[in-house]
Amino acid sequence: MTGRPFRTALIGFGWINAQVWLPRLLAHRNFEVVGVYDPALTARSLALTGPGAGGTAEPPGGAAGLPPDLIADRLEDLLARDLDLAVVGTPNHLHEQTAGAVLEAGVAALIEKPLCLSTEELRRLNARSWDTGAPFQISRPSTRRLDVDRLRSLVRQWCVGPVRVNAEWLRSSGVPRPGSWFTRRDQAGGGALLDLGWHLAEVAQGLLPDSRRTSLNAQLHCPNPELIRSGAGWRGDGPAPGAGPEGGVFDVEADGSLQAHYRDGSALTLRAAWATDVEVDTTRIEVHGTGVDGEECHLELVTTFGFSPHRVTHPVLRVRRGDRSSEWPVETVPGKEYDAQLDATLAMLRRNLPWRAELQRSAQVLSLLEDAYRVAGRPLVSDVPARPAGAVPC
């Protein structure tokens, strides 16, 4: 395709698609948004305009402020709009089903994390991609941050042999919509370790010399009951509509961690938590290793991933080699990494990006987290029915 913007649709119209991807796509001259599909949008439009609506007309701009002609009633109708790209931002348990339909239609896909919930689901997506020739990628914004790129370059330049990586993302108050699909194991698969930990694992993987694991341990911690009645205020998240006084279903972990060792002697410790006692939401990535001269090498990035306004005030990258230390302020414009992701998606559509190599790295992240949840006794894909309102994974 040359000479016109890539015709793009959004599947799912939750926070990430509505607040992050839609404005970027609308502002980008190489993309044209031609459709949106979300059953909630269709239901809302029907409630406003259908029988029994008391004659209430659809408000200007349609449901959720979208032009009515953008909203598709069915996924099949959306896929029939001569699409080049679909951005999949559905609940986690629908990623494979939805992205599979997109690829089956010969349309490229950008899938929000997690890519899917098992290596078997990924295998099926890969098979559809090979059959139709349609490419797909997972959104990997954290790996495209300038501060992460600087850290990765320094580690590769200064550290030789095995390294120890400690990565954590701790929010002060950041549970996404308690009682919604985010906190339901049957729809999300997992909690904070999957939601925030995916970003950390993507970054950590780029810092480890050897991806072959030899051991893995993981821990998943129950949410404090108070979390069931709170949410990420900076996103406008209270309890999900209809969650009730008990806060709805909350049967995923609010705090999770893993420890992995690798064949070359490297080690990874990772922790992700939606709500802790930190004063501001903090992402910290440390790398310990040995320099070419045999001296100890220690690098530390302290910043805040994501969009929370409760951020580290002065993000910094610190480096110590032997007895020499230095530090640099780092650029952290919230959302800039998503601009970089959109550029990477454009490169995929133009066949200028080795997207299968990137996909292989994300497959390793999926394997790590899939194994971590299995080791912790709570597999991501499970036939266990949803727990009742207020349930916790204890």
DSSP class per residue in 203-268: HHHTT-S---EEEEEEEEEPPPGGGGG---GGGT--SPTT-TTTTS---S-SEEEEEEEETTS-EE
Q: To the nearest whole number, what is the mean pLDDT of the chain?
A: 89
153-157: long-range contacts, CB 8 A cutoff, minimum separation 24: 154/299, 154/317, 154/319, 155/207, 155/287, 155/289, 155/299
Can you read off the two tokens belonging to residue 40? 């909630």
More confident residue, 240 or 132: 132
Task: Give the whole-number percent of the chain exceeding pLDDT 70.
Answer: 85
Quick one: average pLDDT of 87-93?
A: 97
- For 139, phi and psi rounded to 5 degrees? -65, 120
pLDDT value for 50: 47
Lowest mean pLDDT across 89-98, 120-129, 291-300? 291-300
Lowest mean pLDDT across 96-100, 203-207, 237-241? 237-241
Query: Which parts of 76-124 are beta strand (E)?
Result: 85-88, 108-111
Q: What is the distance between the alpha carbons of residues 85 and 31, in angstroms, rounded to a whole number?
A: 9
Is residue 244 pLDDT above 50, yes or no?
no
Is residue 182 pLDDT above 50, yes or no?
yes
Is residue 62 pLDDT above 80, yes or no?
no
Is residue 61 pLDDT above 70, yes or no?
no
pLDDT value for 385: 61
For residue 378, give every residue at least 6 positions away whose Cβ sits within 8 Å of its Cβ, in sequence order, or none: 185, 190, 220, 253, 393
Lowest mean pLDDT across 53-57, 145-149, 154-158, 367-371? 53-57
Quick one: average pLDDT of 237-261?
A: 76
Domains and CATH numbers, the chain: 6-138 (3.40.50.720), 142-339+365-375 (3.30.360.10)
pLDDT value for 248: 74
Q: Give the angle 251-253-259 at the CA atoms, nearest 5°.
A: 145
Quick one: average pLDDT of 85-107?
A: 98
Please provide the distance, in angstroms rounded to a whole number, between the alpha carbons at the two ends of the chain: 52
Quick check: 314 and 186 in contact, CB under 8 A? no
Confidence of residue 299 (pLDDT cuts 50, 70, 90): very high
Residues belonging to the chain: 394
Q: Give the angle 236-241-242 at the CA atoms, nearest 5°.
A: 155
Convert the pLDDT of each residue in 329-386 to its tens digit: 997 789 999 999 999 999 999 999 999 999 999 999 999 999 999 999 999 986 656 5
pLDDT value for 25: 98
Quick one: average pLDDT of 8-23?
A: 96
Hey, CA dihedral for 112, 117, 123, 128, is it positive or negative? negative
List the one residue out of 274, 271, 282 whose CA is nearest residue 228: 274
Q: CA gyration radius for the chain?
A: 22
Is residue 245 pLDDT above 60, yes or no?
no
